[in-house]
Amino acid sequence: MSAPHAVVVGGGIGGLAAALALTRAGCAVSLFEKAPLLDPVGAGLALAPNALRALDALDAGEEVRKRSAPHGIAAIRRRDGRWLVRTGPHETQQRFGDAVCVLRYADLCDVLLQRLPAGTLHTGSAVTAVEAGTTRQLARVSTETGDLSADLVVVADGARSAIRSELFLEHPGAVYAGFACWRAVVPWDQADPLDFGETWGKGGIAGVLPLNGDEVYCYATANVPAGESAPDERAALVDRLIDWHEPLADLFASARPEAVVRSDVWHIDTPLPAYHKGRVAILGDAAHAMTPNLAQGAGQAIEDAVVLAHHAGGSMAYVTTAVQSYSAARVGRTAALVQRSAQLAEAVQNDSPVLAGIRDTAAGLIGKVAPWQLARYTRPVDDWRPPVAS
């Protein structure tokens, strides 16, 4: 008997993780990516302990840790450089069993991709439509090179997913969160001392996180209109940070101009009623795009993939039941994180000097007298464990 066929739409972190998880569950997987090449943006990302456990379930966790640099669960400064909250990797390791791991986006893609069978990935092939199918009828997937049937379809084509919009016509979709994010991987001489963490200013933040090797990951946000751009994004960003504490502006100035990537932040603030329809499962940003403030976007997509494969791995004869069970397991957790991340974004993007001052005072007080409250805040996120086969 041939293996059940799963089609995955989208070659980002969620799509790659889903393809790997379903392959390990016994499916023949076809992964379609509309871009001609998998060319991950020159950026980094942080993976909290929950994401690392999900990667462990895919036998990819140890390789990710080897390619990562450890970081604490929270390290926050004011715009003038004064520390508000500071925790280190050792404290995070003690509380959650793992430090936060920071690595290049391209490295995570590579770890997942190299574990997929040859021929799984089809680049330069956009999926144009999906028919969800039923218990008795296979799903149908239309691509630019032809149509095919599938026992299961996984939609992982990002926050502004066209396929999601077709499946849930009445849902408003993703909305602009009100700010943009700039990211860059920049060179760094390890002989130069550098404090890693995030800085909160008025109307935006900036951060510097460690990477293995002689580079660091830098990011910044600002309240700007959607779709806006500058002729030289690096120069514009350096100008924004010129009166922030050192060496934020200097780090971005050391990046190649083309290495500074700007993207508008979109999130799904109205939860989808479900993450499934017929034989289709929706995961990652396509299901629950969130602002980057909790650093959980990639982690939740990987969790989705592991949970989906857990429910689908029993028998494809019951795939409609499997995707329904996946949806039930994921909607509550991810919708709550979308809301929590949006609330944090509202606080850190606030451009009122008075409210920003109150925010900083409260954070500083917690960091000074009750730092354990941070673990209490993040524990429901970081304590997640992969489902175990019964």
Whether residue 300 lies inside any domain: the answer is yes
Q: Confirm whether 321 is domain-assigned.
A: yes
Residue 357 lies in a domain: no
384 found inside a domain? no
The Cα 133–Cα 136 span in angstroms is 8
Q: pLDDT tens digit string along 241-252?
A: 999 999 999 999
Alpha-carbon span 68 to 262, nearest angstrom: 23
188-213 pLDDT, tens digit per residue, is: 988 888 999 999 999 999 999 999 99
> Contacts for 233-236 with beta carbons within 8 Å, 24 or more apart?
233/182, 233/257, 233/260, 233/261, 233/262, 234/184, 234/259, 234/260
User: pLDDT tens string for the chain (390 positions)?
Assistant: 578 999 999 999 999 999 999 999 999 999 999 998 887 676 899 999 999 999 999 999 999 999 999 988 778 999 999 999 887 777 667 677 788 999 999 999 999 999 999 999 999 999 999 999 999 999 999 998 899 999 999 999 999 999 999 999 999 999 999 999 999 999 998 888 899 999 999 999 999 999 999 999 999 999 999 999 999 999 999 999 999 999 999 999 999 999 999 999 999 999 999 999 999 999 999 999 999 999 999 999 999 999 999 999 866 778 999 999 999 999 999 999 999 999 999 999 999 999 988 999 988 887 777 666 666 667 778 889 999 876
Identify the helix (H) or strand (E) that includes residue 387. none
For 116-169, the pLDDT digits (tens) are 999 999 999 999 999 999 999 999 999 988 999 999 999 999 999 999 999 999
The whole-angstrom separation of Cα 234 and Cα 249 is 10
Q: Is residue 162 part of a domain?
A: yes
Percentage of the chain surpassing pLDDT 70? 94
Q: How far apart are CA 381 and CA 337, in angstroms?
A: 8
Answer yes or no: is 169 within a domain.
Answer: yes
Q: What's the total number of domains in the chain?
A: 1
Question: Residue 212 falls within a domain, yes or no?
Answer: no
Domain annotation covers residue 262: no
Structural domain range at position 156: 5-70+111-174+269-346
Task: Return the pLDDT at 85.
Answer: 87
Mean pLDDT, the chain, whole residue set: 92
Domain at 336, CATH number: 3.50.50.60
Show the CA angle centred on residue 16, arms to residues 102 and 164, nearest 5°: 110
